[in-house]
Amino acid sequence: MVGPISEAERDAGNRKIKLVLLAVVTATPPLIALQLDPSPVELLAAAGAGFGLGLVVVWYLGRLAAEFAGSGRRRPRR
């Protein structure tokens, strides 16, 4: 039988999920740009924009998940 996962295992799993999500969001704009035959600078710009967007998405989903998990870091409502 399988027991509950430890806090360290949960953190490692969450970190892997965040990295995969960041990689997918980062890779999407350059792959879309490849359809338009971009220059190397445009391709790099698309990758940079994708990375920035990925960071925002991972940050937002992390905050959203913390709210649903009922962590103690929640802000009081006004």
Judge whether 58 and 22 are in contact, CB under 8 Å.
yes
Q: Model confidence at 31, in pLDDT bands (50, 70, 90)?
A: very high
**Inside any domain, residue 39:** yes
Q: Say how many domains are in the chain.
A: 1
* Average pLDDT of the residues in 15-20: 95
pLDDT tier at 68, thresholds 50, 70, 90:
confident
5 assigned to some structural domain? no
pTM of the model: 0.76
Query: Which residues form the domain of 21?
Result: 17-68
Q: Is residue 34 part of a domain?
A: yes
Q: Count CB atoms within 10 A of the CB of residue 51.
A: 17
Instruction: Identify whether 46 is part of a domain.
Output: yes
DSSP string, 11-62: HHHHHHHHHHHHHHHHHHHHHHHGGG---HHHHHHHHHHHHHHHHHHHHHHH
| Residue 8 amino acid letter | A
> Does residue 64 sit within a domain?
yes
pLDDT tens-place string over residues 1-11: 688 888 899 88
Average pLDDT along the chain: 88
On the question of pLDDT at 57 being above 80, the answer is yes
